Amino acid sequence: MARAQVTSQPRDRIMSCRDTIHLICWYLEGKLSPSVEGEIRKHLADCSDCQLVLNAANTTLDRYFGAERVEEAVGEIKAA
Ligand SMILES: [Zn+2]
């Protein structure tokens, strides 16, 4: 069965790319309500552009939290 929604159908998607990208940080931090999260997941499943943004944001957060962990480790060494 061919999918008819190859061309742009703005009304078909509840979340726009702009909305999704705007919310991705909160999405990664788990700060969104389950319904909004669901909308983002739905959009991401269909949109490779936003998947790229999600991956990039993930990497950034990993680095951010990685840096925090290093600081924690330093604190532990001082405390020991
Ligand atoms: Zn998108």
pLDDT in tens, 27-74: 988 999 999 999 999 999 999 999 999 999 888 878 877 766 656 666
Separation CA 75–CA 80 (nearest Å): 9
- Tell how far the Cα of 10 is from the centroid of ligand 1, in angstroms: 11
Instruction: Give the residue extent of every domain in the chain.
Output: 17-79
CB 47, CB 17: distance < 8 Å: yes
Confidence of residue 6 (pLDDT cuts 50, 70, 90): very low
What is the reported pTM? 0.61
Amino acid 31: pLDDT? 94
Distance from the alpha carbon of residue 64 to the mean position of ligand 1, in angstroms: 24
Ligand 1 center from residue 51 Cα (angstroms): 8
Distance in Å, CA 8 to ligand 1 centroid: 12
- CB atoms closer than 10 angstroms to residue 61: 14
Query: How far does residue 75's CA lie from ligand 1's centre (Å)?
Result: 41
